[in-house]
Structure 1
Amino acid sequence: MVSWPSVIPRRWLPAPLLAAALTLVVFPATSEGQQGRPRLAGEAADASSRSAKKERVPLADWYRGPVRYLLRRSEEKEFRSLRNDAARALFIRDFWRSRDPDPRTPENEARLAFWQRVADANHLFNESARPGWMTDRGRIHILLGAPNDTQEDLNFQVPGRRLGGRGLLRWIYHGKVLTGRHEPTFVVAFVVDESGEWRLTDDAILSSVYFDPLSVKALQETSPLLARLESALADSVTDLGAALDLGRMTTPADETPLIDTVSTETFYGAIPLSARWDFYPGAGDGRTLAVVTVFVKRAELASPASGADPRPLILGKLEGATGERVDLGEGSFSPAEENAGLSPERILLFQARTLARPGTYRAYVGLFDTISYHAGSHKATLEVPDLSTGRLAISPITPLSALRPVTRRADVGYTLPFILGDLRVLPRDRAAFPRSEGLMLYFQFTVPPAQKASRLEMRFFRREGESLVPAGSPQITDDPSPVQGWSFPLAGWPAGNYRLVVTLTGQEDSQTATQHLDFEVTAE
């Protein structure tokens, strides 16, 4: 029989008893963490966070440069209508800002990647009198990146040409997401023109995945390459790689169909992942703060050539039973700083947050590896609780892998990922705790206006078959803080399944709220 010690605050224990006792550490919330909660990132833009870099070309001619490959017709028309450099500079700043995958970082990664591809094109395709980025190969390299495979035949005679034009080059891109509208393998073909330069060809035979140079005439004509290429580049659902490079998944009009694929499409090279949704009191307007954390093993994602940590594209959405919809678009998910340098077997964490009305939702999360073009998805039915300040309620209890105070005062709040108030909170994908790591958890509660909670009681039970057997003495806290972060050592706990029951009592003893967490203690 196990003798369960009482739950006593660590600071009150004599040193010899410290290691044996079931202790706790409580991180109280600051008043700043509860009142005047900042709005979520995305509700208010930080207009002063970054200044536009000075362009090296006359601003009036900016649209004629490599960015022509990214400009939509409406954007080009708007830019050409501007009459002074001040307005052009603001346009350029907003153009790149709208394509910034992570506005919190000091650099715009999409902009850096684009200009790196331009530089690569100038270096790789320098046989022409024109800059490499202006050649057909340079254009495709900038838009689609380097091909997965290359086929080249310098002696190939292009059908229909009597003079010159000898040579065929095929760039093959593998592993695109399949939606049923395009093949998962995409081919871009080039032929040598009379001047000796490689030119993009709209010959559907030469760009067919079934191309056979020995039986060219036997192939059936399909749609022209340029039409298919334009369709692929414009279709952010079908060709994720092209859409990413075009920066076309940042505006609601473009990312909504991509988010929809999370729930409607089947992916090649599925990546296993898990996701958990946690809920806390919102901004006081009746909505609940919904926090989604995605967990994926480091080994499942392709490593960038630079050796940097993987940065997959993650999208999500909530669909309410009454038709309400909340989209989590590009840039919503941020990696945990603890992801840096993890070994292949470790779990990477990415998190996003939004506000949602209480109710039942279907939740979808999709992850796209922008290097391997593999993808994975997670679906769940959620009940978003009502955690408005007008009632006595406890948020669902979040199991954690790490819990510690925020070290930078500027980070305190509710806008940054993995930070809640003045605590850094890393959720655990499942409520299973090795004895060596201890039990860590986090929750919040709300009370009616002009009232406060009088008592918080926490009771542990061990599951034995269908029964719950009390484990240890209850922990009672008078006049508790609305934010509760706990850490319990598990040394001496038998491996098995447990339940924690939390009961909150209001000023009126008849008013109570309860919440529970089922968890497992493992040997290691």
Structure 2
Amino acid sequence: MRLINLKRLLFSFIFIFLIAPLNVTVFSQPIKKLPPRFKQWLEEEVVYIITSTEKEVFLQLKTDKERELFIKAFWKQRDPTPGTPENEFKEEHYRRINYANHHFGRGVPKPGWQTDRGRIYIILGEPRDIQSYTGNSEIFNAEVWFYQGLSQYGLPPGFNLIFYQKNNVGEYVLYSPSSDGPQALLTSYFGDQADYMAAYRTLKRINPALANISLSLIPGERAQFGRPSLASDILLQNIISVPKKRLNDIYAKKFLMYKDIVEVDYSTNYIDNNHSVKIFQDPTGLFFVHYAVELNKFSVQQFKQTYSTHLKINGYVADHQDKTIYQFENSFSIKLNEEEIKKIYYLPFDLYDMFPLIPGSYQFSIIVKNEVSKEFTTFEKEITIPAETSSARLSSLILSYKLDKRPTDSKRLKPFKIGDHQLFFQPRNIFRPQDTLFVGFQILNLDPSLIQKTKLKFEFLKESQPFLTEVKKVSQYPDRMNFIQEFPLEKFPPGHYQIKISLIENEKEISSQMERFEISPAAAIPRPWVYSREILPPTHPLYSLIIGRQLFNKGEMEKAEKLLAAAYNSKPDSLEYALSLAKVYFALHKYAQTKRLLLPFANSENVPYQLYLILGNSHQLLGEFQEAIGIYKQAIDQFGLTFNLLNSLGECYYRLGLKEEALASWEKSLEIKPNQPEITKKIKNLKKGLYPKLIGDDKSRNIPSASCRG
């Protein structure tokens, strides 16, 4: 069995380090507090290649284990061949450091990696050519290094770097045409230090080749107005910025965010993604969140002629008070044969999915884990589900490269399907002039009496300038909720665009939506292999269960009760449905209804802990202490002793006059969790013969938060 990366990027890495002042800055007090090996790693080994984001994240890590995992992730992000056991970038990096220390640290009071020649060697590797100028009494010892073929890093096709030895003593320092000038290379120049051309003429008389390079490090660049070319200083600045350009350091932020959430096996294997989230309403009025994730890397395992992987999706929705509204977990098992794997080998992989959500503004986050390769990716998105209003409004826009008309006799739902049209799109919204742009959207709450007076205005902007405008009557479309508008792109030159759709009612704009897209000059754009699946029809009781749980978590108990009761009545034999409704009854102090609902399930197999706890507390709050004790003992038999169960058990014993049993239960609870001031007080009062305050005296409930999960 072996892992295959379906989207391996075939490129080579160059080792780019920051060209900075010679003294390495100690950034902050936290660096001083690092253990020596991590301090050395940060300040010496990777000081030139680590980005500011990576450094900031590293300094926020609390344990050596976290730092070790981060370092592992740091090198993985730079590995040009992640499917092999070797990390060529890391090996070459340390080889260059060792070379610099050995060759450039002689006769200077610092290690070679800190010298300018050492740094440049580590940054750019072996020069194509080195010219040495020594032994001339009129110029300081100098070396000229020539590099070529590094334009992919924003550097010129060919360029020189000069290192010279001030006063012919100590290390060779990096030369700047504007900061140093030709005069810095001369041992005996007594002219005007600001007169670069006079110094240049003197140097040219001594060494014409070195003189030409002294005014510009870039072949073909000439001095302007008697001053060295600024292009040389831009070159040096570009070298400084290359590490930031070549690496997407978002993985570092994700490592910090998710190190305590994802398993250790995944934490160092973050992969980037493109994503998109859209909100649409189904015919029954439910709003669904549709999301697409395009993985920058997709790995499968091979066993004989079968290729497979397993993706696990964890979704989380919270309001702006960090209250959990909805959580879900989905799994996608993917199997491919030899022919299928060949078709998709070089294609992006897009995952489409959807779920229902109640009105409100939320933070939505997703974790996608590849359980075969132990890789993960995430995204976070602010989303808003509109509240019920009487005014018309536009939904999200989908910019699609492909449209399939699907039969409507199937009531099942599918991500990014509007009406009977299935839209295919990529989160990056990139097209060719040969494509047709299909724009999909909805108009919600459209008043039938105003259809003849309502228009849609389509405005295209190219590079922020007006490009194309079209206006259409809503009455021209056959479907008055789900809309598809086509735009051939043959007259759209390559560039960056925006499309704005406005809903015009009685010549007044009442709603609008905007989306960006790009027209590429590329001859072909690899369209993704899309993995999606149909889900249950919107009339299925599962949606009442999910929406009811969300309302419960939001604190809207009456609405939650109505939906969860409807769901339970559709599936009265379901423990899951019964327990969700019971939580609402219990929160509304309907203890008798809670008891009647849960008792039929008390002796079932795989009874969850919360059922025992809620059922026991319901008996207890109804004064049925003996029955409550029986339920708590069942829970202890199934799940062992917990302080919550022991506390409730102790109170029931006390109510029945069994003070010794009550005392034993509470004391055992303190052994499990010593810091319980209220229980400690009850024990003291009981031993003194006083009457402790018990559950039910003020209708308090000794149960943990019983939030509903989806």
Q: TM-score, normalised by structure 2?
A: 0.33
Larger Rg: 2
Answer 1 or 2: which has greater helix percent.
2
Higher relative contact order (CA 8 A, sep 6+): 1
